Each structure stands twice: as structure tokens, then as C-alpha cells.
């Protein structure tokens, strides 16, 4: 089928494609449809496949023309889009953007057939100039305090939890199991407020009613009525400005027996450590690597944000909607439910799916724009990686994970995983180029804790 086409650029990365099909192909397309119907239709007085075309046209003339027009249009679009795919044209429709026919044309076998469709395409952005872009690099140094805090966390994770004696009172940092409920003004339990076998660490504040201080000194088996008054600016809005009466029973008290920070602990943590100093050196090295990766991530985010500001472009609505739908499905998977059931859960909590998607739209659009800019730069700069660079990438991953290069290669033996690795290596190569071309200024000094505070 020979066709002529005209392309008109529209807003929001959409195009209008106008296609004209020559009358010879129109006539042939109509004839093919009529022949197909004639072979399959059954009509009173005629055997199957023996209905004359003239009879079909008299009885189903308009319907035949509509069906023929639809089929001719479909075939024409397949031809055009196949050409676009072969040419890798920027006018190819997005895979999830269904072309919309503006109007079904009237078919006349003696005339050319012209129709128009609109659809979304991949947004076009050209990053040609990096001048004036300034990227901030936070200044971070792993301190002795950071190392000490990590070592204490290791002690916590390797602590033995032992039962306290029944006559020993609850103290700060004890692991406590309690039953509790709210009481009404007459001292009776409020229905539905009872909670059993609630476990938390005394002094951590990790309980809804914040009765840590009130249970200090209680013993296993003891019950106590507590009255709590909450300030108007209390973090829990449901409790803010209220007074609650609670009945708390301590059912178990345990204590953490922290191990000494010595060579024996280091050997228990990992057999590769022979001494405590070995473990400290390795931990500091990993913390410095984590800090460097986080700083590069923040620099990258800052760079992408500046590029989005300097080279604004609109996203097609279908692309944004597809990404939002994908996030919704991922959220359903995290809750181990279906997207439909998730919507019911959200509605029951007083929200709506539409409200949540609206809240997500802003950061979703920024993420997509960043992705498109990166893809355009990779293509424009023809970024590729050599086998030697992939080997270096393997080694870097192995070092960061504390495993052998062979183990990393085994993980990436799957072709799809290997493709992810190659794409990541290309991106890292691109960012190294970009950081060398933009102005990188030193940012404020941050502690390791502050660096990861909003991660």
C-alpha cells in the first residue's frame, strides 16, 4: 500500500498524522473486505460463499464501507508505523499511546481516502550548552563519632536478650511487653482500645501514648492506671490537646546484654576480621564509600534539576499516566494486594486514589523529565562502554558489596541483569563527563548522619 503522510507537531509532545491513500488502494481495500464477507456470510436463499456482491452491497452498503474504511486505515497505519520503526523516527507513537482517529472518513472507491490521527510521541529535548550550570557538592567526612555510633549499633545487633528477674523493676532501655487499654471516665475499658503483647524499648518513645516514664519502676505482673495529658502541638493529631486514662499491665521485662567491643566480637561479626582494628578499618572504608555514593547522588540530582530548569519541555499525558499507574501497581504489590483492593483500602482510610495520584504527579513528572534528558544525552553523545570498563564496574561493585568479582559476575550472568549493569555503567560515564563540564562548587559541611537524614 502506497501512502502519503503529513506530520504536524502539537503541544505536550503530541503529533497529528494525516495520511492519504490513493484511490487504487482504496478500491482494492474495499474489494478485499467485500470478498471476505461474501465468502463467510450466510443469507436466506444463498449457499455460504455464494452471495453475489451486488446483493451484499444493496443490503449492507453503508456498513461495508465503514468496515472497509476501518480496515484500510488500520493497514495504512501499520505501513506508516513500520516505516517509522525502520527509520527509528522520532514520530513513532509511544507503545502505550493509542492513536486517536479524529473522524472516520466517508469511503468513496473513486477517490483518495484521507484521515488524521493524533498520538503521543517521545518528548524531544536537546541539551546543547552546559554553561552557567552550577552544581553543589556537600562536604562530608566520616568522623570518630560516626564510627563510634556504628560500632554501638553492631553491639546492639549482637546483644543477647535475657529475662529480668520478676522482682527487678523496669528501667530505661529495658525491652518491655505490656497489655494496655483506654479507660472511660468511670474507669471501664473502652471497647476496641485494648492492645495485648505490645513490645517496645522503655525510654525510646516508640509507643502511641508515650507512657515510657510512667512504667519505669513497674515490675512484671504489675498493673497501673495512668492519666496522660497531651499538649496541643503533640505529634499525634488524634491525641493533641486531649487527656487519656490508660490501664497498663507489664507482662515481661527483658534486658539487652551488650557484648564487649573487642577482637572476639569482630570475629563473630565476620570471619574475615581477625582483630577489632580490622573491623574498624573496614567499617570506616564502607562508610566513606557510602558517603561518596550519596554525595554523587545528590550532585546528580542537583545537575538534573538544573538541566530541567534550563531546558523545559512538556510531557505527554499518556506517559505521566502510565508512570502513575505503574507506581500504583507497585504500591499494591508492596501491600500484597491487587490494585482494585488497594483502592478500596485507600478509600476506607478517608482518601481517594485520585487524590494520591495528584500528590504524586509533581515528583513523577520531574523523574520522567530527568530520565528523558539522560536518555537524550546518552544518545547525543553516543555513550558506550568497553569490555574493560565493564570489568572495572564488576570490580567496583564487588568491593562495595564485600564479595568476590566472580560472585558479582554470577549475579549478572542473566542477560537482563547484564543489560542493567551496562546501562548503569553508561550513565556513570555520562555523569563523569557532565561533572567535568559544569561548575562544581563546595557545599556546606555535613555530618554523615545529616547526609543521610532525608534519604
List of residues 6+ apart from 96 with CB closer than 8 A: 318, 319, 322
Q: How far apart are CA 291 and CA 447, in angstroms?
A: 10
pLDDT (tens digit, 9 = 90+) per residue, 351-390? 899 999 999 999 999 999 999 999 999 999 999 999 999 9
SS (H, E, C) the chain: CCEEEEEEECCCCEEEEEEEECHHHHHHHHHHHHHHHHHHCCCCCCCCCCCCHHHHHHHHHHHHHHHHHHHHHHHHHHHHHHHHHHHCCCCCECCCCCCEECCCCCCCCCCCEEEEEEEEECCCCCCCCCCCCEEEEEEECCCHHHHHHHHHHHHHHCCEEEECCCCCCCCCCCEEEEEEEEECCCCCECCCCCEEEEEEECCCCCCCCCCHHHHCCCCCCCEEEEEEECCCCCCCCCCCCCEEEEEEEEEEEEEEECCCCCHHHHHHHCCCCCCHHHHHHHHHHHHHHHHHHHHHHHHHHHHHHHHHHHCCCCCCHHHHHHHHHHHHHHHHHHCCCCHHHHHHHHHHCCCCHHHHHHHHHHHHHHHHHHHHHHHHHHHHCCCCCCHHHHHHHHHHHHHHHCCCHHHHHHHCCCHHHHHHHHHHHHHHHHHHHHHHHCEEEEEEEECHHHHCCCC
pLDDT (tens digit, 9 = 90+) per residue, 394-435? 998 888 777 889 999 999 999 899 999 999 999 999 999 999
Q: How far apart are CA 395 and CA 168, in angstroms?
A: 53
CATH code of domain 274-451 = 1.10.3120.10
> Reading across the β-sheet that carries 100-101, which strands appear in turn?
3-9, 14-21, 113-120, 100-101
List of residues 6+ apart from 382 with CB closer than 8 A: none
In the block, residue with C-alpha cell 497498663 = 248
At residue 431, the pLDDT reads 96
CATH code of domain 160-257 = 3.10.50.40
Domain spans of the chain? 3-120, 160-257, 274-451
At residue 284, the pLDDT reads 94
State the burial class of residue 339 (Cβ atoms within 10 Å of its Cβ: 0-12, 13-18, 19+): middle
How far apart, in Å, are the Cα atoms of 82 and each of 21, 68, 114, 117, 120?
Answer: 16, 21, 19, 16, 17
CATH topology of domain 3-120: Alpha-Beta Plaits (3.30.70)
* Mean pLDDT along residues 319-339: 93
Confirm whether 3-120 and 274-451 share one CATH topology: no
Residue 49 has pLDDT above 70, yes or no: no
List of residues 6+ apart from 420 with CB closer than 8 A: none
Residue 330 has pLDDT above 90, yes or no: yes
Distance between terminal CA atoms of the chain? Answer: 56
Nearest of 310, 283, 454 to residue 369 by alpha carbon: 310
- Considering the chain, what is the average pLDDT of its residues? 91
Contact 378, 427 (CB under 8 A): yes
At residue 426, the pLDDT reads 95
pLDDT band at 455 (very low <50, low <70, confident <90, very high): low
- Look up residue 178 and give its three cell numbers: 505490656
pLDDT band at 454 (very low <50, low <70, confident <90, very high): low
Contact 316, 14 (CB under 8 A): yes
At residue 35, the pLDDT reads 84
**Is the entire prediction scored with pTM above 0.75?**
no
Longest dimension (CA), the chain: 103
- Look up residue 330 and give its three cell numbers: 507497585
Residue 206 has pLDDT above 90, yes or no: no
Q: What percent of the chain has pLDDT over 70?
A: 99
* Mean pLDDT along residues 212-224: 94
List of residues 6+ apart from 11 with CB closer than 8 A: 314
- Look up residue 88 and give its three cell numbers: 527509528
At residue 339, the pLDDT reads 92
Nearest of 302, 287, 441, 453 to residue 370 by alpha carbon: 302
Amino acid at each position: 500500500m502506497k501512502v502519503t503522510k503529513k506530520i504536524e507537531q502539537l503541544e505536550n509532545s503530541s503529533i497529528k498524522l494525516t495520511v492519504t491513500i490513493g484511490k487504487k488502494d482504496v478500491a482494492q481495500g474495499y474489494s478485499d473486505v467485500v470478498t471476505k464477507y461474501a465468502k463467510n456470510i450466510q443469507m436466506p436463499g444463498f449457499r455460504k460463499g455464494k452471495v453475489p456482491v451486488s446483493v451484499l452491497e444493496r443490503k449492507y452498503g453503508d456498513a461495508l464501507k465503514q468496515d472497509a474504511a476501518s480496515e484500510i486505515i488500520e493497514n495504512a497505519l501499520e505501513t506508516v508505523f513500520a516505516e517509522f520503526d525502520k527509520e527509528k523516527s522520532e514520530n513513532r507513537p509511544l507503545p502505550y499511546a493509542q492513536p486517536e482517529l479524529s473522524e472516520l472518513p466517508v469511503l468513496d472507491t473513486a477517490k483518495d481516502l484521507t484521515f488524521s490521527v493524533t498520538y503521543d510521541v517521545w518528548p524531544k529535548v536537546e541539551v546543547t550548552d552546559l554553561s552557567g550550570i552550577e552544581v553543589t557538592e556537600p562536604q562530608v567526612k566520616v568522623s570518630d563519632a560516626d564510627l563510634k555510633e556504628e560500632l554501638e549499633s553492631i553491639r546492639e545487633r549482637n546483644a543477647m536478650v535475657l529475662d529480668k528477674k520478676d522482682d527487678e523493676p523496669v528501667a530505661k532501655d529495658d525491652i518491655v511487653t505490656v497489655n494496655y487499654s483506654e479507660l472511660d471516665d468511670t474507669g471501664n475499658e473502652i471497647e476496641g482500645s485494648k492492645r495485648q503483647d505490645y513490645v517496645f524499648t522503655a525510654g525510646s518513645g516508640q509507643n502511641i501514648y508515650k507512657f515510657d516514664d510512667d512504667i519505669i519502676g513497674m515490675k512484671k505482673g504489675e498493673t497501673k492506671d495512668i492519666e496522660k495529658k497531651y499538649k496541643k502541638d503533640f505529634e499525634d493529631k488524634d491525641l493533641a490537646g486531649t487527656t487519656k486514662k490508660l490501664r497498663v499491665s507489664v507482662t515481661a521485662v527483658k534486658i539487652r546484654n551488650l557484648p564487649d567491643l573487642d577482637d572476639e566480637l569482630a570475629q563473630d561479626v565476620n570471619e574475615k576480621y581477625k582483630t577489632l582494628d580490622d573491623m574498624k578499618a573496614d567499617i570506616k572504608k564502607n562508610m566513606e564509600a557510602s558517603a561518596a555514593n550519596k554525595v554523587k547522588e545528590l550532585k546528580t540530582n542537583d545537575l538534573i534539576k538544573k538541566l530541567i530548569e534550563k531546558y523545559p519541555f512538556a510531557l505527554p499525558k499518556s506517559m505521566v499516566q502510565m508512570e502513575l499507574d505503574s507506581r500504583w501497581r507497585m504500591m499494591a504489590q508492596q501491600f500484597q494486594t491487587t490494585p482494585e483492593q488497594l483502592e478500596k483500602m485507600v478509600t476506607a482510610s478517608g482518601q481517594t486514589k485520585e487524590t494520591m495520584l495528584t500528590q504524586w504527579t509533581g515528583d513523577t513528572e520531574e523523574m520522567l523529565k530527568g530520565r528523558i534528558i539522560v536518555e537524550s544525552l546518552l544518545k547525543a553523545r553516543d555513550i558506550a562502554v568497553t569490555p574493560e570498563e565493564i570489568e572495572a564496574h564488576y570490580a567496583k561493585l564487588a568491593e562495595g558489596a564485600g564479595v568476590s568479582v566472580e560472585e558479582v559476575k554470577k549475579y549478572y550472568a542473566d542477560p537482563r541483569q547484564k543489560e542493567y549493569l551496562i546501562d548503569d555503567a553508561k550513565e556513570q560515564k555520562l555523569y563523569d563527563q557532565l561533572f567535568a563540564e559544569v561548575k562544581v562548587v563546595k557545599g556546606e559541611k555535613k555530618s554523615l548522619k545529616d547526609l543521610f537524614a532525608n534519604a
